[in-house]
Amino acid sequence: MQYSNNFVRLNLHNQFEAMQRTKALRLFSKYDEGVRINKTMMYSITKEVIANKIAEICKQKGYKYVVDGCSGAGGNTIAFASHGIQTASVEYNQENLYDCIHNSEIYGVNEDIQFFHGDITYFDCLKETGFDPAQTLFFCSPEWGGPNYIQNTVFDLEQLQPRLTKLLKYARETGYAESCYYLPRSSDLEQLERNGCTEVNYMFQAGRCDAICAWFN
Residue-wise pLDDT for 126-183, tens only, equals: 888 999 988 999 999 998 866 565 666 788 888 888 889 999 999 999 999 999 999 9
pLDDT value at position 138?
A: 96
Domains of the chain: residue spans and CATH? 3-216 (3.40.50.150)
**33 pLDDT higher than 80:** yes
Question: Could you write out the DSSP letters of every residue in 80-143?
Answer: HHHTT-EEEEEES-HHHHHHHHHHHHHTT-GGGEEEEES-GGGS-HHHHHT--GGGEEEEE--B
Mean pLDDT over each residue of the chain, to the nearest integer: 86
CB neighbour list of residue 3: distance below 8 Å, 6 or more residues apart:
none
User: What band does 1 get if pLDDT is binned at 50, 70 and 90?
Assistant: very low
